Copies of this chain bind each other. A is one copy, B any other.
């Protein structure tokens, strides 16, 4: 699969390099594709990965991971040649700078906002409740972290389930895109526990089942 990974920070770097490692063709999109951060990520990702502008990455791929700050998201996507039919995987949490609230409030969500801006794209919310450490390694002893996935396009969601399984996660189907209104608060709870209650990044939500 050709996967554009927009953003080469902890999140884009972790998921992009791991998808490259399992054989996907990863095209990192960045503001400065020749910069040190991108070069380091390309070195980790190995020979199959490329980098360019976000516009170039989107044009080259049918699947696009959004791993950029929320306040850049609209501008970056607006510059794309076309988003028609593209699978946009949204793992963004639009947190306030103090990490204590959601900038969009709770009556919508980043995922729904992106879908409203770009109605010809197929938006799936996923990976937003995970730390970068868990993205690097989803195993917790015998158990794997759960990835909570919602969206309105069944085939797009199935692709994301598969991309999650390939990295060792267990996906949980969470229904339509409006469930992002629960998944973004879940990320806030995660951030609160990780940052303010001392759990750190080596923790992850799982649904126990018997």
* B192 and A174 contacting across the interface, CB-CB below 8 Å: yes
Q: How many residues of A contact B (CB 8 A)?
A: 34
A197 to B157, CA, bound (A): 15
A173 CA to B189 CA in the complex, in Å?
11
A188 cross-chain contacts in B, Cβ below 8 A: 182
Report copies per complex: 2
Contact B202 A192 (CB under 8 A): no
Complex contacts, A174 vs chain B, CB 8 Å: 189, 192-193, 197
Q: Does A36 sit at the interface, judged by CB under 8 A?
A: no
Overall SS of chain A's interface: mixed
| Min CB–CB distance A189 → chain B (angstroms) | 4
Report the minimum CB–CB distance from A190 to chain B (whole Å).
8
Asked if A117 CB lies within 8 Å of chain B CBs, one says: no
Picked from B106, B175, B182, the residue with its CB within 8 Å of the CB of A186 is B182
Chain B CB within 8 A of A114 CB? no
B208 touches A140 (CB 8 A): yes
Tell me which of B182, B203, B208 contacts A209 (CB under 8 A). B203
Nearest chain B residue, comparing its CB with the CB of A194: B207
Q: Which residues of B contact A204 (CB under 8 A)?
A: 207-208
> Could you tell me which A residues sit within 8 Å of B by CB distance?
105-107, 140-141, 143, 145, 148, 172-175, 179, 181-183, 185-186, 188-189, 192-193, 196-197, 199, 202-210
Given contact pairs A174-B189, A185-B185, a sample of 18 additional A-B residue pairs in the complex whose CB atoms are under 8 Å apart = A105-B107, A106-B106, A106-B181, A106-B185, A140-B209, A140-B210, A141-B210, A143-B208, A175-B192, A175-B196, A175-B197, A182-B188, A199-B207, A203-B207, A203-B210, A205-B205, A205-B207, A206-B208
